[in-house]
Amino acid sequence: MTENILVSATKPDDPEHKVYETDGYPTVGLALRVVDAEGEPLQAGSAGRLLTRGTSTFVGYLKRPELYNVDADGWFDTGDLARLDAEDTSPSQAARRM
């Protein structure tokens, strides 16, 4: 996605399950969470909307402010479905675009 430079990544020394079953760890300076349709955080393993917040989040679309999907707390709705792993740290895509 172009609205965030990099949301998550794996490292060369990560265990195989992290590399093959998740999208890695959130990058430094970026927080993420998975929420339900009402915006409430979901438990690990539950699929929901992926939200990100941090220093790499873009500041909006040129001449299209109505498309800037960031809430009052700074959480950006990526439009992707994801779930967090059991460690509650690594996202994996449940589906691509909603």
- Chain segment 37-87, per-residue pLDDT in tens: 999 999 888 899 999 998 888 888 888 888 878 888 989 998 889 888 777
* Domains and their CATH numbers in the chain: 8-97 (2.30.38.10)
pLDDT of residue 88: 54
35's CB contacts (< 8 A; 6+ apart) are 41, 42, 48, 49, 51
How far apart are the C-alpha atoms of 68 and 23, rounded to whole Å? 24
Q: What φ, ψ does residue 69 adopt, rounded to 5°?
A: -95, 60
- What single-letter amino acid sits at 7? V
- What single-letter amino acid sits at 35? V
- Chain segment 24-51, per-residue pLDDT in tens: 888 888 888 999 999 999 988 889 999 9
Predicted TM-score (pTM) of this structure: 0.78
